[in-house]
Amino acid sequence: MKRLILLCLLGFTIQIQAQLEDCAECDTITYTTKDITKNSLYDLQLLRNEIFARHQYVFKDERLLEYFQEYLWYQPDYNNPAEVSLNAVENANIALFKTAEDRIKKKRKRLFSELKELKRVLKQNDTITINLFLDDGLSDGANKTGAIKELNDILTTINLKDVNWYKDTALYKVSVDNGFLVRITDLRINGGEVILSTGDIQHSEIMTEPFQYGSSYYSESEYNSTWIFKFDGEKLRLVEHMVAG
């Protein structure tokens, strides 16, 4: 009986963690949401376009064309570049992938709404709302006020309108060299994890001999502060704040 329960649980886990690897059978198998639970936006876009690629469609997007040309089965038909006929199963799978893509894009939009709101309340020093974002991730104490000010400085530096994605990771980084230290402030997003950080990580590029006379730089001057948030699809919450240096 215990073994049966274990097997059922394992089967349930496999379903929950389902990830479709390719679209080799997208013309004969109608997939469902549970089959693509772990597929990222990048994965889904490739799966959707693979359906067309398997009909030797000639992509106008050079990146897609180069991507599928890596596969031996892809032989683009340049004589009939726009003629692709899909069956009902393929159309159903395309609709499934597109719906999942839109769902992920909607979550991304919601995430940036949360970041903009956090930036707004930090600027206005709205302590009640700030505490909702920081929750239990930042302990009370004498340094809490300074830490919140630092977080405000980080988000003031980040231009949320200019954050860009590569596959399923987003980044915005600012590097400032003031002739003494190099300070890097950045925002990184990977899945549901959002990392904001700032740090004086190295000496200025003009210091050819940073540890000799002419410079007062010491490695002890280096400092880093990292804020790790989790986004559940609706709310952004701090889970950890780490300081080094």
**Every domain of the chain and the residues it spans:** 2-86, 110-244
User: Positive or negative, the Cα torsion across 195, 200, 204, 207?
Assistant: negative
Percentage of the chain beyond pLDDT 70 is 90
pLDDT at 4: 43
pLDDT at 208: 87
Determine the residue type at 18: A
Residue showing tokens 């097997």: 7
pLDDT bucket at 139, cuts 50 / 70 / 90: low
Residue showing tokens 């402030």: 185
pTM metric for this prediction: 0.85
HSE at residue 214, side-chain half, CA atoms within 13 A, is 9
Helix (H/G/I), strand (E/B), else coil: 96? helix
14-23, 93-102, 109-118, 183-192, range with the lowest pLDDT? 14-23
**Average pLDDT, stretch 116-135?**
94
Helix (H) or strand (E) holding 165: strand 164-166
Separation between Cα atoms, residue 5 and residue 151, nearest integer Å: 48
pLDDT bucket at 216, cuts 50 / 70 / 90: confident
- 241: phi then psi, degrees, rounded to nearest 5: -130, 120
pLDDT digits (tens, 9 = 90+) for 41-62: 999 999 999 999 999 999 999 9
pLDDT digits (tens, 9 = 90+) for 171-212: 999 999 999 999 999 999 998 999 999 999 888 999 988 888
Helix (H) or strand (E) holding 231: strand 223-231
Task: With beta carbons less than 8 A apart as the criterion, state whether 209 and 227 touch.
Answer: no
Separation between Cα atoms, residue 211 and residue 235, nearest integer Å: 46
Task: With beta carbons less than 8 A apart as the criterion, state whether 193 and 236 touch.
Answer: no
Residue with the larger pLDDT of the pair 77 and 183: 183
Helix (H/G/I), strand (E/B), else coil: 171? strand
